[in-house]
Structures are given as structure tokens and as C-alpha cells.
Structure 1
Amino acid sequence: MIKLKDIKSFHTEKRWAFPLAITSIICLFLLATCFNMGLLPPLYKFNSFFPLFNSRVVSNQSVPHFAEEKIIYPTSESRPSIPRFAYLISGSKGDLNKLWRTLRALYHPWNYYVVHLDLESEPEERMELASRVEKDPMFAEVGNVYMITKANMVTYRGPTMVSNTLHACAILLKKYKDWDWFINLSASDYPLVTQDDLLSTFRNLNRDWNFVEHTSQLGWKEDQRAMPLMIDPGLYENKKSDIFWVQPNRPLPTAFKLFTGSAWMVLSRSFVEYCIWGWDNLPRTLLMYYTNFVSSPEGYFQTVICNVPEFIPTVVNHDMHFISWDNPPKQHPHVLDINDTAKMIKSGAAFARKFDQDTAVLDRIDSQLLHRPNGSFTPGGWCKGSPSCSKVGNPIRVKPGPGAKRVRRLINKLIQSAKNGNQCR
């Protein structure tokens, strides 16, 4: 039974509870206002007087703010002495056999390969490529060749080629954890040296070097490529059509400096990770800018790497290709033939483009430079079995030939120029 004095006590408590609550709210509001106006010292100074509270704050501050802080990167000591290359070989309609020939000429069990036929190619072509990759005994045994089965639309003059390259980079980062350099090639490219030559040459290089042809002198590209605004239908249509222009033109950017160069490059893993993760947002910002840029593959990676101070010292101004251009360059380079063989060899480049399918010059490269008989794999120190290179021996055993000397001579000259500070100018 409730007594009268209990009821009176209850009502008395109600009378003072409400003013107390209001007073507490006002005090909290005034305290917060003082902090905001700087009338009280900052919170971290109070922490020194309250060690328990301070320990809680410190423990909260120890949580990483960025996802990439959780990544454990391999140290130079943990890396194999022989580097690994990760290749993208891409093609379009009618390029099946060209791509297949380039892949087999480039193949080495120590490397990784992503192949892609774009959405313009016939479904039968893509299915045939997938079948060849799946049924090849060597590829099945080693498991280092991956085909992008969900094809992308690629328009060379638009940003879709950059998107496709970044797609391949993301696949390689996810599937394979231990490669050192990314190399993008097309079905119209072909090697001028063996993979053993290349592995041997890059073996003694700092694995942060990036081979990116670049210049900040835009010249005629300023008016014809940088300032016009274009739309690439390949971003939203499933059939290839040419880009189209819209008005008005835009001025050159002031937030970053534009660079231009070759669409073909050899990129370090650390720079590829930066392009994919983009933790300071520059790669994404530039990707949006280059969405409306004519021939964005010839500017995107150059502009990214030359606007990041930590990567500028790693840039070597060469794309490791022999390419014959008009002056000024047209949209596509000259098609190389057998008369260009001597110039290709003299250049010291690792690759050349552009080639037609099954031409005499490719046969000469196979026989004289790669020693690759009858469409087989290019021989190297890894080869075992009969016929030759039908089995994998020691994948890190390399047998460099004359091609290694040519490439090494070129790279030594380029790196010396880079060390003199001739980068991103």
C-alpha cells in the first residue's frame, strides 16, 4: 500500500528533477560553445590530466585511416632475384591469330599474361581464343595465362582504352601477388628480343623504374587534342563508333600539368598500385578529366606519374618500342616491313609495332632474333622436353643472347639520362 508521505516525496522529486535536467543541458551547450570559440584549451590538453581517458583516445587513433595501410608490400629482400613481367595483350575484330602469335612469342612460364579481344570482335573469335587458352597443355599446366571473358568496348582515340588497361592492371593485382612490371601490348606488337634477354636485363634494375615516353611540350596537340571536348560512345554503347566533338572548347587545366607521349609503357608495380588505389585521388580526378580528351591513352599515365613528386625520379623517357611515325604523327604509325629490320635491331628496343598479320618481317624476327621455329614458344633456359619447350624445367634459369646486350645498352643510356634529372619536362 502506498503511503501519503511516499506520494509527497515522489512529487517533490519531480519538482527538482526537471530544473536539474534543463540546467544540465544548458551547461553542456555552454561548454561545447566554449570549445568551439577557443575559450577553453583543446581536448588533448585535458587528456594529460586523465590518463584513463587519454589511453582510450590513443587506442582509437591507432586504427588505420586508409585501407592501403593494411597491405603488406614485399620487401626487396623477399623478392626473387629474377623479376616477373605482367603483360596485357589486347586486340580487336580479326586479331585472333595475330594476338595468338604474339602471345606465344612472348610466353615464359615465369611471367603472367592477360589477353583481351574487345567487344567489336566476333563472339566466335573470343570463344576460339578462350578455347585455345584452356586447351593449351603449357598454359593449363602453368596457369599463368588469363583471358578477360567479359569483353570491354575499346575505342583507341577515347578513354575506353585507358579503362581497359586499368581493368587488366586490377586483375593482375588481384590474381598474382609477385610481379614487378606491367607491360601493355596490342596484337599488332611483336618482341624483338627473347624473354630471357628481357628478364636478364631487368634483373639488375631498381624495380621502381617506369618506362614512360613523355613530354610537357604539347605542340599541335594543345589545340587539336587537349582543348576540344569529345564524347566516346564506347562508354555507353555495345557497338563501336567513332568519337564526336561537343562545344565549347575548354581551357588548359591549372590544377595539374599535362603531359603526352606513347600509349605503350612498362610500369612498376608500385605505380600500378597507385593508379588503381589512388589514395590521394589524383588518378581518379585525371581519369575523369581524360574522359573527354582525344587520344587519352597517350596522356593519362604520363600526366599521373609526372604530377606525383615521389614518382618523378622513377620515370625513364622511353616506351621500349620501335615505332615509325610521320611528322607530325598521324593517328596510326607506319606498318613495318622487312626493310625496317635493320633499324629495329639498331634501336635496341624490346618491342616493335605496327605489324600486319603473318608478314615476312615477323618470320625474319622469329628466325634471326627469337630463334622460334614453326610457331612454337620462344626458347629459353626454362625449356625442357621433346619437342623443345614442351615441358617446363627451371623457370628462373635464363639464357640471355645478343638481344640482352642491345636492350642493356639502350637502358643504361636512358637511366643515366634519368639520373641527370631529365624527367617530366
Structure 2
Amino acid sequence: MKKPHRLVIAGDIAHRKKSLALFFCLSVVTLLILLLPAHGPDRPLSTTASPDVSSPFAGNLRPPKLAYLISSTRGEGRRVKRLLEAVYHPWNYYLLHLHLAVSPEERADLDDYIRSERVFLKFRNVRLVGNADVVTLKGPTMMSTTLHAVAILLKEVNDWSWFINLDTWDYPLMPQDDLLHIFSYLPKNLNFIEHSSNIGWKEHQRARPIIVDPGLYGFDKADVFWIKDKRSMPSSFKLFIGSSWVILSWSFLEYCILGWDNLPRTLLMYYTNFLTSNEGYFHTVICNSMDFQNSTVNHDLRFTMWDNQPRQSPLNLTLEHFSQLLESGAPFARTFTETSAVLDRIDKELLNKSKSRFCPGGWCLGSSMPGEDPCANFGKPHVIKPSAGSRRLERFLLNLLNAENFRPRQCS
């Protein structure tokens, strides 16, 4: 598996690490149909920056653009709005996917919110996916929804660098300015994806069973059902498993959608009948590809706590976990309940965010006085003002990219 490919970045990583340290010290046919972009009344995502605006970065370096997918199901409208306000930045792109189970009234409410928010109207970088998908958590429909969103982003905008998937159980631990600032100094071919070839008990409970997800073939949500026969382990590729939550590069996702060889399509067909395929598809594609297997960072950049093995359901984070959240250095964490008091503390102490307002950044020109909305007035979207969160993220990433953690943990 550890073969060099055309995008070898070992020396580049070492150079970038030194530069970072120096800089911061100084400061299946149905699935294929689902992948087609949705058309309808939705306004396309658009580029926000004009080419003649000067950059605040040395060497005229601009921050990368991030493309977010935020997924939600019935009854989560308020959580979607809160999460979007916490991660919003006019420099990025945001796709919101509401499961087909969401009521028309809840969908219309969120659509009205997007179409009436002044910042969204100005920068035109938030939209609701028009053709909602049925999502069954145990089946491949969650994976197909992600690929559907990626296909939309690849078709409509081509200047984003990384894709990040979130749902309403996620929440950021630092402003977007910090994330954009640090990612400005990373190679754009890096893929943050937790993965392992040690599938253990999942061989018999995930890989060998054959399941069918009715959500791929109709509009009514139903549980997956099992075929009586089992299948053997594949011999033409090696299976990998890991976290469903990823930060993936534009180049890798372009390969998954428009692949120049048969690997992504072969694995797409294989994972159509795989239980919880979102925990294996991207992982298996990237680690079986000679072009991308050396681009992986074995972490999903989320802080998550587990109560016991086999790590099926993460703990809901509370105020007693706040110090661990802060010390982790991760840019995101999960899972949180809607009423958890720790979210209010994150807003106040880590995001400097008031209730029902956007997380402020360098793009916000309004007053910072108590009670005032700093983002009531806004300026250039690419202006970045990092906070203390950038230093936490710096330490976190330098640890992931050091010699002991980076290469030895790739696709093994």
C-alpha cells in the first residue's frame, strides 16, 4: 500500500511544518443519478471576492475557501440556524440538506431565513439543496447525500479547497477566521480522514452482510433489510473504516465524482450494499488510490468522547467537558444536545458570539460594544483576524503532521 505517487508531499510537509512553526512563532445507477446536481428555483452559489482587492497576507496569499455541507432531519430547524451562524463566513460556501422527512413548513421556514438574511443576500454563498434525499443512517443514502452535495459544489463553484461535512450534533470550537488562517499554510492536497484497515468485528457485521436500502429506490423512509447470503471479503482492494466526518480536498473529491479510473465507481457499487457505508467509502477509495493514499492525515479534526468499546455512540458533551474541549485544539466537536449549556459557554468564551448572531471575524465592521452586533456592518470577505483559537489549532496540526504521526499512520 505504501507506494509513492505523483503527488508526493513528504519534503513539502517538512518544509511546510518548519514554515508554519516559524510563521506562528513570529505571530450504482441510482447512486449516480443522485449525484446529479439539483436544479430548480435555488440560486447558484457564487464567488464573492473581486480580483482587485488586496490581501492582508504576506506575499499576497489569500485564505482558502471551505465548502460546508450541513445535514439535518425533522425538528432540527433551530439547530441548523444556530450551527450555520456559528460556522458562517462570507468567504466560504454552505449547502444545507434537509432530509426528505422534514415537513414542508420547516423547509419553507429555513428557505425564508436564507432568502431574507442580509448577509446571505450580499454574498450569495448559502443555499438549500432543492431535491431532498431520503436518508437512512444505516444504509448508503447518507453517503449518496454527501456525494450529491459534492457534485453540486464541483459544478457550481471551482475555487474552494476543502469540503467539510457537519450535522446538527456538531459545533465549532473556534471562529472561522482561525480555521482559514491556519489552513492558508497547509498543502491543499491534504485530506483529514480518520481511517484504519483493522476492521475487526466489522468484517462480520458490516463487510460480509449484504443489505438493501429502500431509500435509494423510493421516497418512503424504511429501515434497511438484510439478504440471507453473505459475501466474501474483496481481493482486488483493501477495506478501510473510520469516522463519517471528514475534511477532504477538492482534488480528491473531483476524483471521486469524475474519476479517471474505475476505482471510485467500483467501490460505489460495492458500498451500495454495505451497512453504514459512510464509514468506509471515502476511506477505502483514498487508501487504495496511488494518487491520494499519501495525502491522508489520520484524524477527522473533531473532538469526540466515547464511553466504551466498540465506539458506537459518542458521549453528549456537557459543561464538565469544557476544559477538554478547549485543550484539544480541534476546530470542531460532537455530539451536543440542543439545550446543552456548554454551547452557550462556547459561544461566549471561544466564538465571542451573541445569541442569534453570526460569529464575528475580520469581515465584521460593526461596533464591538456590549449589546451591539459587530456583523451588522461588513466589509471585505477575505480579511482574516485570527484569535487565540488559531494557536490551539496550530499546535494540534503540528502534532498530527510530525514525523511520528503523519507517515506511519497513513492507510495502515
Q: Normalised by the size of structure 2, how large is the TM-score?
A: 0.82
* Cα deviation, residue 289, structure 1: 0.4
CA distance in 1, matches of 2:187, 2:263: 25
CA contact (8 A) 2:271 2:277 kept: yes
Match of 1:328 among 301, 309, 315: 309
Overall identity of the aligned pairs, in %: 51
TM alignment of 1:156-167, pairs within 5 A: 156-167=137-148
Q: 1:228 maps to which residue?
A: 209
Q: 1:213 maps to which residue?
A: 194
Counterpart amino acid of residue 390 in structure 1: A
CA distance in 1, matches of 2:61, 2:270: 38
Task: Return the structure number with greater relative CO, CA threshold 8 A, min gap 6.
Answer: 2
Tell me if 1:404 matches 2:390. yes
CA contact (8 A) 1:313 1:421 kept: no
Match of 1:256 among 237, 250, 261: 237
CA distance in 2, matches of 1:359, 1:398: 30
Q: 1:310 maps to which residue?
A: 291
CA contact (8 A) 1:261 1:299 kept: yes
CA distance in 2, matches of 1:123, 1:169: 24
* Cα deviation, residue 293, structure 1: 0.8
Q: 2:154 maps to which residue?
A: 173
Offset from partner CA, 1:210-247 (integer Å, 9 cap, x none): 00000000011111111111111211232222212111
CA distance in 2, matches of 1:170, 1:205: 24
3-state SS of 2:272 partner? helix
Q: 2:120 maps to which residue?
A: 139
* Cα deviation, residue 142, structure 1: 0.7
* Cα deviation, residue 79, structure 1: 9.8
CA contact (8 A) 2:139 2:276 kept: yes
Match of 1:344 among 325, 346, 353: 325
* Cα deviation, residue 373, structure 1: 1.1
Deviates more, 1:319-328 or 1:144-153: 319-328
* Cα deviation, residue 330, structure 1: 5.1
CA distance in 1, matches of 2:331, 2:355: 22
Offset from partner CA, 1:172-200 (integer Å, 9 cap, x none): 11111101000001111100011011011
Counterpart amino acid of residue 395 in structure 2: R
RMSD: 1.5
Q: Normalised by the size of structure 1, how large is the TM-score?
A: 0.79
3-state SS of 2:229 partner? coil
CA contact (8 A) 2:173 2:326 kept: yes
CA contact (8 A) 2:65 2:162 kept: yes
Tell me if 1:282 matches 2:268. no
* Cα deviation, residue 153, structure 1: 0.7
CA distance in 2, matches of 1:218, 1:326: 20
Offset from partner CA, 1:29-85 (integer Å, 9 cap, x none): xxxxxxxxxxxxxxxxxxxxxxxxxxxxxxxxxxxxxxxxxxxxxxxxx99521110
TM alignment of 1:1-400, pairs within 5 A: 81-329=62-310, 331-385=312-366, 387-400=373-386
Residue 332 to residue 125, structure 1, CA distance change in 2 (3 Å): farther
CA distance in 2, matches of 1:346, 1:239: 44
Counterpart amino acid of residue 424 in structure 1: C
Offset from partner CA, 1:377-425 (integer Å, 9 cap, x none): 1011111235311232122221111111111111111122455343000
3-state SS of 1:252 partner? coil
Residue 330 to residue 413, structure 1, CA distance change in 2 (3 Å): closer
Residue 361 to residue 308, structure 1, CA distance change in 2 (3 Å): same
CA distance in 2, matches of 1:191, 1:329: 26
Aligned residues: 348
CA distance in 1, matches of 2:382, 2:171: 23
Counterpart amino acid of residue 324 in structure 1: M
3-state SS of 1:383 partner? coil
Counterpart amino acid of residue 407 in structure 2: N
* Cα deviation, residue 261, structure 1: 0.3
* Cα deviation, residue 332, structure 1: 3.0
Counterpart amino acid of residue 389 in structure 2: G
Offset from partner CA, 1:267-309 (integer Å, 9 cap, x none): 0100010011022021111011011111110100000000001
Stretches of structure 1 that go unaligned for 5 or more consecutive residues are 1-77
Residue 383 to residue 363, structure 1, CA distance change in 2 (3 Å): same
CA distance in 2, matches of 1:312, 1:394: 37
Residue 384 to residue 135, structure 1, CA distance change in 2 (3 Å): same
